[in-house]
Chains A and B, each alone.
Chain A
Amino acid sequence: MASALINVPERAKRGEVVEIKTLVSHVMETGYRRTQLGAPIPRDIVRRFVCTYNGTEVFRAELHPAIAANPFIAFSTVAVESGTLTFQWTGDNGFSVTESARITVE
């Protein structure tokens, strides 16, 4: 069910800085909330986000409960060569989503 949205330009000039926007569908339950009966709701968050460019890690983030639901992360990278950008989100309760995008560098 979990799904991710990524926005990477399809084409870029060599050496250009491209902006990458990512969004993954996740509740990001903080672990600090309680049900109306007072039972604590266990934490369930995305802990880690990694972006690799043709196998090399270019960006990584460690998330905490203070990140809003459906974590949105925007960052940038230098378009060095054509290839694949892979995005991976991992979190509590075995959460893991992987997405990838092609980029053509001219």
Chain B
Amino acid sequence: MNRREFLRATGGFAAGIGALIAVEPASATPAAMQDAIRQVVGSARVSAGRVKLDLPPLSENGNAVPLTVSVESAMTQADHVKAIHVFNEKNPQPDVVSFHLGPRAGRATVSTRIRLADTQTVVAIAELSDGSFWSARAAVVVTLAACLEDA
């Protein structure tokens, strides 16, 4: 075996280990978030815009970060927001919450309080009645992380 073959063989092995590790990450990664988003939107295209994601840029306590999502929509029977999904990059799990609303909501604005385990980007995706998806993202700096501390 010459040097080139050796490198090729061991390189393949190292890549295999890398793939194994990637299967079970310690926390959700941007890739895991992309997968979670794909599960919700399917093959549809997600465009940026129409969604406003309000999060404090700096959060001292990741255990309760106020979040408000609003979507520009007439909220009529013909044109309304069907759902709003929120995802994060670095918590143990990429999903945060899914809201299902309809024309009877009157206004496409929802608020809640979320946990963030790290400084990261949060993504909100709105599903409209015409089948289109719109998104917004916000970066949050978290000083005290949630989720992983001892009880």
Chain B residue numbers with a CB within 8 Å of A62 are: 97-98, 100
Complex Cα gap A42–B138 (Å)? 31
Complex Cα gap A62–B145 (Å)? 23
Q: A58-B105, A71-B112, A78-B106 are in contact. Are A63 and B151 (CB under 8 A)?
A: no
Chain B residue numbers with a CB within 8 Å of A61 are: 97-100, 110, 112
Whether B97 and A75, one on each chain, are in contact in the complex, defined by CB atoms closer than 8 angstroms, is no
Question: Is B139 among interface residues, defined by CB-CB distance under 8 A?
Answer: no
Whether A68 and B63, one on each chain, are in contact in the complex, defined by CB atoms closer than 8 angstroms, is yes
| Stretch of A2-10, A33-41, A86-94, A95-103 at the chain-chain interface | A33-41
Q: Among A32, A58, A67, A78, point to the contact of B96 (Cβ < 8 A).
A: A67
Chain B residue numbers with a CB within 8 Å of A73 are: 110-112
Chain B residue numbers with a CB within 8 Å of A71 are: 112-113
Nearest-Cβ distance from residue B72 to partner chain A, whole angstroms = 15
Q: A65-B115, A66-B91 are in contact. Are A75 and B148 (CB under 8 A)?
A: no
Number of interface residues of A (CB under 8 A): 32
Chain A residue numbers with a CB within 8 Å of B147 are: 30, 32-33, 65-66
Nearest-Cβ distance from residue B75 to partner chain A, whole angstroms = 8
Question: Is B104 among interface residues, defined by CB-CB distance under 8 A?
Answer: yes
Complex Cα gap A78–B75 (Å)? 10
Whether A64 and B105, one on each chain, are in contact in the complex, defined by CB atoms closer than 8 angstroms, is no
Binding site for B on A (CB under 8 A): 17-18, 30, 32-36, 41, 53, 56, 58-69, 71-78, 80
Binding site for A on B (CB under 8 A): 63-65, 88, 91-93, 95-102, 104-107, 109-116, 146-151
Q: List 25 A-B contacts (CB under 8 A).
A: A17-B106, A30-B147, A32-B92, A32-B148, A33-B149, A34-B151, A35-B151, A36-B151, A41-B151, A58-B102, A58-B105, A59-B100, A61-B98, A61-B110, A62-B97, A62-B98, A62-B100, A66-B88, A66-B93, A66-B95, A66-B114, A67-B114, A68-B65, A68-B146, A72-B111
Contacts A32-B92, A35-B150, A66-B97 supplied; 14 other A-B pairs, CB < 8 Å: A30-B92, A34-B151, A36-B150, A36-B151, A61-B97, A62-B97, A66-B88, A67-B115, A71-B112, A72-B113, A73-B111, A75-B110, A75-B111, A77-B104
